[in-house]
Amino acid sequence: MNNAVLTPSTGWLLMALFSVAWILLGWRLGRKAKTLDGYMLAGRNVGLALGTATAMATWVTSNTTMAAPQLAYQMGIWGMVGYSLGAMGLIFFAPMAERIRALMPEGYTSGDFVRLRYGKTAWRVFLGISIFYGIGWLISMGMAGGILLHALTGIEYKVGMTVILFVCMLYTMLGGLYAVIGTDYIQSILILVGIVALAIIAFARHGFEPVHATLAAERPALLNLLMPAALMFLFNNLLFGLGEIFHSNVWWSRAFAFRKGIGLKAYLIAGVFWLPVPITAGALALLAPHLGMNVPAVDMVGPMVAARLLGTGGAIVIFIVVFSSLASSLDSLLAATSDLLVEDIYRKHFNPAASEDKLRRASVFIIIGLSLAAWLICLPRLTHLAGMIAFTGAFVGSTIWPIAAGLYWRRTNPIGSTLGMVAGSAIGLTAYYVVGWYVAALVGSAVSMLVVLTTTLLAPRDFDWSDLQESPQEAAL
Amino acid sequence: MTASASPTLFSVLIIAAIIGAAIAALVLIGLIISDWRGQRLW
């Protein structure tokens, strides 16, 4: 059954308009990227406005704008509040971003930190986790793009998925991190204005008390503040968010890219600004019972409510919000994963003497290769692959302690950190299959914490923080 | 065990979120103007 809220021709028109805008902006900003630092890290001089917007927009994925209404519809108030706690990842990362910039003014990736802090074995384990997670997230976003564009406009899955991946690849390739951050700013404004406009119009028309009264009469569980499943989701989501942000190069590359003194403020403000987004988007879904709507596909409840309330205008706004959310995450993933592959795999493993020009060319080829690989895997629409992002919770959870302890605790044991990542991932994954998806991140982080703390307390190792300051010449050796 | 959100809590939560998101958009616009004027964008 096709529940599309827009016609394919409107979808094509909107998609063409925004695609051309992102590509032109990417091309224009790309002219600033004259050096490798410019291309990979936007010249390491990003200011507060662009820094805040890029952190916020990247964390607003299509999951935030589509799954928050679904969770509100299924788990009620705690579903959307639980989702909004994902903001804690950004808030906790804020002081870390400042410290990363201070400790590693010449750093490029999260891999650089793990290699210099813990040695090559830990580095390779970390790269395995980080690259696997980055590619997994890329695939799940690519698939989400095809599925959402089909659901919103009726455009065929393969066509929608190809367009969104191709557009993001093109402007990321043309402008590197300059293009990613520049487009993120506009996307963050579009997302915020879109959801605020929809929520204001929706509740101005129907009022809070009538909507509450319908929920109390027909779906009282959605108002229950002690729903166990929702509380469990809240806790797992919090840990998953922490692990994802602490380890992923998407966030580290921004810490390196922000001007000195910006990281703390930008991540802190971005976290506070992100907090109301899932609640505002999720609240729309709570109107569905009041509107007497039959919702055959719960993952489409947000767009369906918007279209019901505002007709084509509402559906267009939700399309722009979803398209912006998809692009702002896909471009960041392409840029950050390619940085990891260029710096930690190509340069450090195969070609340490590569010139800046060669590394920049390698970046372009890797962005194209990554997009092509993601496109090929997304093509058959194996939706169970999109679900694999849930079991990566074990992997990302296992990195929380090695990263946090490594940044702040001078005596952290390197072997313990490596073991923490391996044991946390293995036992977290076992818990995922034996207990359930909601414990993967929790068990992964708990095991890793235990191993890192025990080994460090029993066998502390000294570390000189200045060893993290690797010059470009040393890095090439 | 249940504890239902009252109409007041329900509306306060959603109004706070809408105002928060609106302020976020306005502050982001203000910040970009300020950074642009001070040539601190990049």
Label residue A426 by pLDDT band (50, 70, 90).
very high
* pLDDT above 90 (res A451): yes
Q: Mean pLDDT over residues A368-388, rounded?
A: 81
Q: Is the ipTM of this complex over 0.90?
A: yes
Cβ of B40 within 8 Å of Cβ of A279? The answer is no
A5 secondary structure, DSSP code: S
Report the alpha-carbon angle A49-A54-A58, nearest 5. Answer: 155
Cβ(A366)–Cβ(A343) under 8 Å?
no
> A276 and B18 in contact by Cβ < 8 A?
yes
Is the CA virtual torsion B9, B11, B14, B15 positive or negative?
negative
Interchain pair B3, A47: CB under 8 A: no
Distance CA A87, CA A219 (A): 28
pLDDT higher than threshold 80 for residue A446: yes
Q: Is A156 helix (H, G, I), strand (E, B) or coil?
A: coil
Chain B residues lying within 8 Å of A43, measured CB to CB: 42
- A50, A179 Cβ separation under 8 angstroms: no
Between A3 and B17, the higher pLDDT residue:
B17
Across the interface, whether the CB atoms of B42 and A276 are under 8 A apart is answered no
**Is A280–B27 a contact, with Cβ atoms under 8 angstroms apart?**
no
In chain A, the residue whose alpha carbon lies closest to the alpha carbon of B24 is: A273
pLDDT tens-place string over residues A247-257 = 899 999 999 99
The percentage of chain A sitting over the pLDDT mark of 90, rounded to a whole number, equals: 63
- Mutation pick from A39, A77, A325 vs chain B, by most beta carbons of B within 10 Å, is A77
Residues of A whose CB is below 8 A from B37: none
A92-127 in b/e form (b: 16+ CB < 10 A) is bbbebbbbbbebbeebbbbbbbbbbbbeeebbbbbb
Hey, are the CB atoms on A277 and B40 less than 8 Å from each other?
A: no
Identify all chain A residues contacting B10, using CB atoms and an 8 Å cutoff. Answer: 77, 208, 211-212, 215, 223
Mean pLDDT across chain A, nearest whole number?
89
Contact call for A208 and B15, based on CB within 8 A: yes
The residue among A81, A185, A212, A222 with the most chain B CBs within 10 A of its CB, best to mutate, is: A212
- Inspect the interface and report whether the beta carbons of A50 and B42 lie closer than 8 Å: yes
Q: Does residue A2 register a pLDDT over 70?
A: no
| Top-ranked range on mean pLDDT: pick from A51-65, A300-314, B26-40 | B26-40
Cβ(A68)–Cβ(A280) under 8 Å? no
Among A240-244, A435-439, A444-448, which range has the highest average pLDDT?
A444-448
Residues on chain A touching B19 (C-beta within 8 angstroms): 276
Question: According to DSSP H, which parts of A32-156 are helical?
Answer: 36-41, 48-59, 62, 68-75, 77-84, 87-103, 110-118, 120-153
Would the pLDDT of A1 be above 50? Answer: no
What is the C-alpha to C-alpha distance for residues A144 and A61, in angstroms, rounded to an integer?
10
How many other CB atoms are found less than 10 A from the CB of residue A155? 22
B4 backbone dihedrals φ, ψ, rounded to 5°: -85, 140
Q: What is the spatial distance between Cα A113 and Cα B9, in angstroms, rounded to a whole number?
A: 45
Phi then psi for A46, rounded to 5 degrees? -70, 135
- Is there a contact between B42 and A52 if contact means CB atoms under 8 Å apart? no
Distance CA A177, CA A108 (A): 12
Helices (H), A341-413: 356-378, 383-386, 388-408
pLDDT of residue A126 exceeding 90: yes
**Mean pLDDT across A433-450:** 87
pLDDT digits (tens, 9 = 90+) for A250-296: 999 999 999 999 999 999 999 999 999 999 999 999 999 999 888 87
Closest CA to A301 of A317, A313, A316, A283: A283
Q: What is the pLDDT of residues B4-13, one digit of tens each?
A: 889 999 999 9
Q: Please check the confidence at residue A431 and state whether its pLDDT lies above 80.
A: yes
Q: Do A77 and B5 touch (CB under 8 A)?
A: yes
What is the model's pLDDT at position A474?
65
3-state secondary structure A198-243: HHHHHHHHHCHHHHHHHHHHHCHHHHECCCHHHHHHHHHHHHHHHH
Summarised one tens digit per residue, pLDDT across range A132-142 is 888 888 888 88
What letters, b where the CB count within 10 A reaches 16 and e where it falls short, cover B8-42? eebbebbeebbebbbebbebbbebbeebeeeebbb
- Alpha helices, DSSP H only, in A228-293? 228-247, 249-257, 263-274, 276-285
- In B, what residues contact A, Cβ < 8 A? 1-5, 7, 10-11, 13-22, 24-25, 27-29, 31-32, 34-36, 40-42
CB contact under 8 A, B35 and A48: yes
- Concatenated DSSP letters of A396-464: HHHHHHHHHHHHH-TT--HHHHHHHHHHHHHHHHHHHHHT-GGGHHHHHHHHHHHHHHHHHHHS-----
User: For residues A55 and A263, what is the distance between their CA atoms, to the nearest angstrom?
Assistant: 10
Q: How many CB pairs under 8 A join A and B?
A: 118
Please check the confidence at residue A460 and state whether its pLDDT lies above 80. Answer: yes
* Distance of residue A444 Cα from the nearest chain B Cα, in angstroms: 30
φ and ψ of A258, to 5 deg: -70, 145
pLDDT tens digits for range A88-103: 999 999 999 999 999 9
Planar angle of CA A459, A119, A36, nearest 5 degrees: 145
Express each pLDDT in A180-237 by its tens digit: 999 999 999 999 999 999 999 999 999 999 999 999 999 998 998 877 766 767 777 7
Are A251 and A180 within 8 A, CB to CB? no
Chain A residues touching B31 at Cβ < 8 A:
48-49, 52
Residue B38, min C-alpha distance to chain A (Å): 10
CB contact under 8 Å between B11 and A188, yes or no, is: no
User: Would you say A411 and A463 are in contact if contact means Cβ atoms under 8 Å apart?
Assistant: yes
Please state, as a whole number, how many other Cβ atoms lie within 10 Å of the Cβ of residue B4.
19
Q: Which residues in chain A have their CB less than 8 angstroms from residue B27's CB?
A: 269, 273
Model pTM? 0.91
